[in-house]
Structure 1
Amino acid sequence: MARTYKERRASIAIARGETKDYLTYRRMMRTLSEDRINIVTQGDSWFDFPRIESLSLGPANIIDWLVSMTNFGDGKLKKCTFYRLEENGEEIATMSEREELEDLIDALEVPWDIHYVLLSGGGNDFTGFEHIHDVILKEPKGAINEPESWINDEEFNLRLKQVELSFSTIINKILKYKPDSRILSHTYDYLMPSDVGVELLRRVDLSSIFSGPWVSPGMSNIPENLRLSVVKLMIDRFVNVLETVKQSYPNNFDFADLRNTLTPGDQTHWLNEMHPTSKGFEMLAVKLLEKLPLLQN
């Protein structure tokens, strides 16, 4: 009997060792060898940037690259199973809400070891188009050439505190079901504000719908030669949040510092204002691997 389209998709997913479908996830875990490293991923576009938008037929985000390196690489890394919960454009605050947490709980309530939970989040909570205008001032509160003068500290600190609480909510839920979990997140790299967004889809009439740019519209009043410095300040403050979370969960949580991996504005590294190219994501995935020792053969 011919297999259905859904059955064929499930078989392909199992062969690749990655899926976003819960039933396929359970089947994959039952089917594949026990010596695989089992990984659950949750996050934003750095884990879920779509291939069609990346102009790449190959890996288009960090997790795509981890799948490629582990399951289709040169054998230096152990093979893995990836259950992928991430969603393009998601905020960490949304990931910490009840409905999103239920999906994560389902992923953890299984009779198999989950060796790593990978989290990508926090950036959209303050650099997203709907937030950047609140975080960045229209006029400087101090010297015009000082990056700090352009930050709305009260608003930014509130958002960073929410990011910290969201991480804690997610981590606490993970540890409730898998107390020995290894949870890894990451910083973002320094991006160059620009007018380059992303084409989300092309209609039948060949017109397009675009998203972004995200950061630069909120920085239109900032001198152009100062904008990268403002971004660096924001990213560094976000890293301080990750440091605080790490101090709260020293035995379970860590993060990969991806700053200064890519060159801001380099078109071989950056596809648009906020998203790296396939090559850029590969470079970031290599940095993540340094924090995933169980994957080494």
Structure 2
Amino acid sequence: MPPSQSVALPLRGQFRALYQQLKHAGVLARTPVVFCEGDSWFSTPLAMNLLDWIVSPAPDDEARGVPLLGNGGLFFRAEHSGDHASRNPDDPKRSMFVRDNIDDLIGWYSKFDFDLILLSAGGNDFVDSFLKRTLGNRTGLSAQAAFQLVLDSGKYETVRKAYALFLQAAIAARPGVPVLAHSYDYPRLIGQPGALTPGNLGVAALLKKSVGPWIGPNILGIVEAERPKFARLLIDGFEQNVLRTLKADPRFAATFDYVDLRGTLTQPAQWFDEMHPTEAGFHALATKFRGAMLAKLPAAKR
């Protein structure tokens, strides 16, 4: 592959064919092979998302000195918008780290010499119907009181155990292959849906009714001035109780790591809606994520 050119393939047959071509051409030794699973931060079609910017960096990135994948890369992309990390009680088929899906993913993953696993998972577990059930009909809640209800729900532990189930399977299948996840950034547009236009979604925008919101309508029981603080506490809780705890777990310390993206996007204009950055926002996040990703790859493939 030419320098900095990567290929992303969501279809297994296409991935297998290109993998074999690269192998026969003798270039796998310098080509990163990356397995990706995740949610809309890896898959949203509304703009170039976090993973899109890794696979296909902006034309001027190289000129600006942004670290790119030196010899390109081969990415297998299994992500889907809306998927939960743990079992989704409202739609079990939209669950990543449950036994059936893990068995399917690892069965495929184990057939190829992947160099790295990228994960984007957990954000959907803590919004929408979860918030509605957890906060119920309470009113006048402070941010801290509402967050305590989230802690008491055990959801962080549920998501952490789901991650652990996947990590155990991945490590058993291919010991030593690093796994890199990420935190989410602090929401700036609480209660604001995404604007769907043909410009950002093509003709599909004419058929799709709305994008969100997933947080705002479900936290009306929190005092209005406290709602941004509550959203920050949710994000901090995910980093502290899921990602940081997994990284400190002796079973995963040598394999699992994450990029802390909190505080990167500080301007409302960098956000498309409550949960998704704009294209420019994702580009800023990808710059951080790419650097950590490169450090995890074998030296010959950076």
Instruction: Report if TM-score (shorter chain) is over 0.5.
Output: yes
Deviation at 1:97, TM superposition (A): 1.8
Calculate the aligned-residue CA RMSD, in Å.
2.7
Separation in structure 1 between the aligned mates of residue 229 and residue 191 of structure 2, nearest angstrom: 14
Q: What SS does the aligned partner of 2:181 have?
A: strand
Which residue of 57, 73, 96 maps to 1:80?
Answer: 73
CA contact (8 A) 1:190 1:260 kept: yes
Q: Where does 1:220-259 land on structure 2 (aligned, <5 Å)?
A: 220-240=220-240, 241-248=242-249, 249-259=252-262
Taking a change above 3 Å as real, the CA distance of residues 214 and 110 of structure 1, as seen in their structure-2 partners, is: same
1:153 matched to 2:154? The reply is no
Deviation at 1:151, TM superposition (A): 2.8
Partner AA of 1:46 in structure 2:
W
Q: Where does 1:3-42 land on structure 2 (aligned, <5 Å)?
A: 17-32=7-22, 33-34=27-28, 35-42=30-37
Taking a change above 3 Å as real, the CA distance of residues 20 and 151 of structure 1, as seen in their structure-2 partners, is: same
Deviation at 1:77, TM superposition (A): 2.7
Deviation at 1:286, TM superposition (A): 1.0
Which residue of 22, 43, 53 maps to 2:38?
Answer: 43
Q: Deviations over 1:59-88 (max 9, x none)?
A: x21110000139996385321110000001
CA contact (8 A) 2:6 2:75 kept: no
Q: What SS does the aligned partner of 1:95 have?
A: coil
Q: Where does 1:1-297 land on structure 2 (aligned, <5 Å)?
A: 17-32=7-22, 33-34=27-28, 35-50=30-45, 53-54=46-47, 60-69=48-57, 74=62, 76-78=68-70, 79-93=72-86, 94-112=95-113, 114-127=114-127, 129-136=128-135, 138-139=137-138, 146-153=142-149, 157-192=153-188, 193-197=190-194, 199=196, 206=206, 208-240=208-240, 241-248=242-249, 249-263=252-266, 266-267=268-269, 269-292=270-293, 293-294=295-296, 297=302
Unaligned runs of 5+ in 1: 1-14, 55-59
Separation in structure 2 between the aligned mates of residue 106 and residue 204 of structure 1, nearest angstrom: 33
Partner AA of 2:265 in structure 1:
L
Q: Deviations over 1:7-29 (max 9, x none)?
A: xxxxxxxx851101111111121
Q: What SS does the aligned partner of 1:289 have?
A: helix
Separation in structure 2 between the aligned mates of residue 77 and residue 191 of structure 1, nearest angstrom: 29
CA contact (8 A) 2:141 2:221 kept: no
Name the residue aligned to 2:90: none
Taking a change above 3 Å as real, the CA distance of residues 17 and 106 of structure 1, as seen in their structure-2 partners, is: farther
Deviation at 1:211, TM superposition (A): 3.3
Partner AA of 2:131 in structure 1:
I
CA contact (8 A) 1:135 1:156 kept: no
Name the residue aligned to 2:89: none
Partner AA of 2:129 in structure 1:
E
Q: Deviations over 1:73-122 (max 9, x none)?
A: 6385321110000001100011112332133213322242x111011111
Higher relative contact order (CA 8 A, sep 6+): 2
Partner AA of 1:133 in structure 2:
K
Partner AA of 2:120 in structure 1:
S
Aligned residues: 269
Taking a change above 3 Å as real, the CA distance of residues 81 and 150 of structure 1, as seen in their structure-2 partners, is: same
Partner AA of 2:57 in structure 1:
M
Separation in structure 2 between the aligned mates of residue 19 and residue 181 of structure 1, nearest angstrom: 20
CA contact (8 A) 1:40 1:107 kept: no
TM-score normalised according to structure 1 size: 0.81
CA contact (8 A) 2:6 2:73 kept: no
Taking a change above 3 Å as real, the CA distance of residues 154 and 126 of structure 1, as seen in their structure-2 partners, is: closer
Unaligned runs of 5+ in 2: 87-94
